[in-house]
Every structure is written in C-alpha cells, then in structure tokens.
Amino acid sequence: MSLKRVQVELGDRAYGVLIGSGAVGELSSLLPERATRVLVVTQAGIPFDVLPLLGSRNVRRHEIGAGESAKSIDTVMSILDALGEMGATRNDVIVSVGGGLVTDVAGFAASLWHRGIGVVHVATSLLAMVDAAIGGKTGINTRHGKNLVGSFWQPRAVICDTDALASLPASEIRGGRGEMAKYHFLTGDDLLALGIDELVARCVQIKAEIVEQDEREGGRRALLNYGHTLGHAIERESNFAVSHGEAVAIGLVFAAKLARRMGRIDSSRVEYHERVVRDHYGLSIDLPKALSHDRLVVLMQGDKKALNGLTFILDGPRGCEVVNGVDEALVREVLAESEVR
C-alpha cells in the first residue's frame, strides 16, 4: 500500500491529506491524542464503516439526512446534541465520513462545539476528495441561499481513500469529474496521464497551494470558481436537472471560448479545454438548448463574485484571473455559439 500525502501549510493549523487505496486504515493515528470520545457523522447510504478502526475510545455514530435540505441548522443542532449526550469535551473529536455535504455540516458543528474542536474528514465522494474536504470552508444553507452561514475551520487531517469511489453512483462521479477538470487549467501542468490516486493527490495539492496563499478568499482562492459563473446559472436555470459538476464542465469550456473572443487565449487553448472536459472526463460541453439566455445573463449578473456587471474567471497569458465588467453582448454571442446545434 503506497499512500500519497499532501501537506496543507497553514502555520499552527497545518494538516496532512492522505490519499490512496486503504488510506482510511490510518484514521486512528490521525486523531488528536487527548481525544477519548469520537462522534462519527455520516449518512445512511455510505458503505464505509470506520467504527472498527477507532479502538477503545468512546465512539458514537450519528447519521444525518441526505440532499441540500439536510444542510441546515437543525442538522447542526442534532450533531451538537449528540456531542452533548456523549459528554464531549473540548479535547474530543468529530470524524466526518461522507461527501461534501457531510464534511461541510460536520466541520461547521466542530467549529461551534466548545468554540471549536478537532475534526477529521474522511471524504467518500470524488468532489469531497478534490474540493469540499480541503481548505476549511464549512457551512449550511438558509432559505435565503446556499452556504450562507458557516465558518472557516480547518480539519486536523483529511483522508481520501479512493476505495470509497467504488460505491459512488455514476452521476456523482460525473459531478466530481467536472470539478476535477477545472484543476487542469489552474496550473500549467498536463494532468491527463495521471492515474486516479495521482490525480486526486495533484488536485488536492493545487487546492492546498491556493488555500495556503489565500485562506479566507480575499483574492486567489476565487480561482477555484473557474467555470462557476455560468455553471451556477445553468444549475439554477435548469432547476438543478444539470448537476453542479456537469454545469461547471459546460462553464469551463464557455469561459475558454469567451477568453478567446477577448483575445486572451488562442484556439489551441480552447481545444485543450474541450479535450480535457469532453474527451478525457466524458462530460458534455454544450449549453442545453432549453435554457433562456436572458435568464442566464440575469443569474450571472447576480453572481456573488460580480462586483461590476458580468464577472468571470478567464484564462489568459498570466493564467486564470478574475475579470470584471465583461461585455454583455459578447457573453450573449458566446452563449449562442455554445448551444447544441
């Protein structure tokens, strides 16, 4: 068994991410020594049992619901109640086992109990491995929007055991691949030849480097939203029929076409985007015809990164960067060009 390890260098909050088949076997050694109680937060459908790995500690398993409606303050309260019932102190620890929903909610609860206890994430979805579990953003939804309430709370360690992917539904694999595709464009490296463990490790490393430079998203961390301006709009305008990752995939190729029209990149770089997203990850790159361009533009203008009209992350001679005030007429032309013919 050869595991890969990526260190997230954040001073006294630094931590390691262990990646590879069988990585969960290291869980016990990654828990804080003083922790005698462990609350395992997971979901019913996740066939990954960590309880036998936790030795003689006082361990309790707590299931939360699935779907974005479970990403709520009620779910957080249920976790805090479970901690209370087991008498958890500030030395104890939460182990989250699941996709991004579980790691976001469990991480948030960990940041609140005794004003913050340790959390170790065992990421079981591809998206959680390459994105959600890394970097310390936690949160829940309110009726006013997604991820509106949360905290920055770095985990003590993250485990990405790629064996977990065997049971992940195909639609969730596609979603994770859309998010993974974006990493190909955030560095100059060609990641196409890497096997799954190497690829997850490289994505984690790219995210770690960005988080190290900008933990609280004052600047560079926004690059992780590459493909997301149109992606979020497609997700919402399709009523979530197009999943987040699949929408990001379309958004990535759209952003490349827009960048070419603005003279920032050439056609070969657009073709590289198409090759990665469509050919390598097998994702659709065409904008579904049923979506109203007027509505997409309105949604993109409301994007949280949009300080000034239409804002995109665009590739260019200096790599990807945030570009404000993009011409609406040009955006509409590229939307028309991106539709399925």
Ligand X SMILES: NC(=O)c1ccc[n+]([C@@H]2O[C@H](COP(=O)([O-])OP(=O)(O)OC[C@H]3O[C@@H](n4cnc5c(N)ncnc54)[C@H](O)[C@@H]3O)[C@@H](O)[C@H]2O)c1
d(CA 171, CA 238): 16
d(CA 276, CA 201): 18
- Which of 115, 143, 144, 318 does the annotation list as catalytic? 115
The reply on whether position 251 binds ligand X by CB under 6 A is: no
According to CB under 6 A, which one of 28, 142, 167, 267 is a site residue for ligand X?
A: 167
| Amino acid letter, residue 109 | A
Q: What x/- string results for residues 171 through 190 when contact with ligand X is judged by CB under 6 A?
A: -x--x---------------
Local structure of residue 201 (DSSP, 8 states):
H
The reply on whether position 43 binds ligand X by CB under 6 A is: yes
Q: Which of residues 66-85 bind ligand X (CB under 6 A)?
A: 66, 71
- Which of 37, 184, 202, 244 does the annotation list as catalytic? 244
- Minimum CB separation of residue 249 from ligand X in Å reads 14
The set of residues, in sequence order, having a beta carbon less than 8 Å from that of 110 and lying 6+ positions away, is 94, 116, 117, 118, 119, 138, 153
Q: Which residues pair with 4 in a beta bridge?
A: 19
The reply on whether position 101 binds ligand X by CB under 6 A is: yes
Tokens of 220: 């560079």
Total binding residues for ligand X by CB under 6 A?
A: 27
From the list 84-92, 167-175, 215-223, 278-286, the region that binds ligand X by CB under 6 A is 167-175
- Which of 172, 174, 182, 225 does the annotation list as catalytic? 225
Q: What are phi and psi of 292, to 5 degrees?
A: -75, 125
d(CA 200, CA 19): 7
Residue 16 has, within 13 A of its CA and on its CB side, a CA count of 11
Is 232 considered catalytic here?
yes
Q: What x/- string results for residues 208 through 247 when contact with ligand X is judged by CB under 6 A?
A: ----------------------------------------
Q: Which of residues 125-164 bind ligand X (CB under 6 A)?
A: 125, 127-128, 131-132, 135, 137, 147, 164
Q: What are phi and psi of 140, to 5 degrees?
A: -135, 170
d(CA 233, CA 238): 8
Residues taking part in catalysis: 115, 137, 179, 207, 217, 221, 225, 228, 232, 244
Binding site for ligand X (CB under 6 A): 43, 45-48, 66, 71, 98-102, 104, 124-125, 127-128, 131-132, 135, 137, 147, 164, 167-168, 172, 175
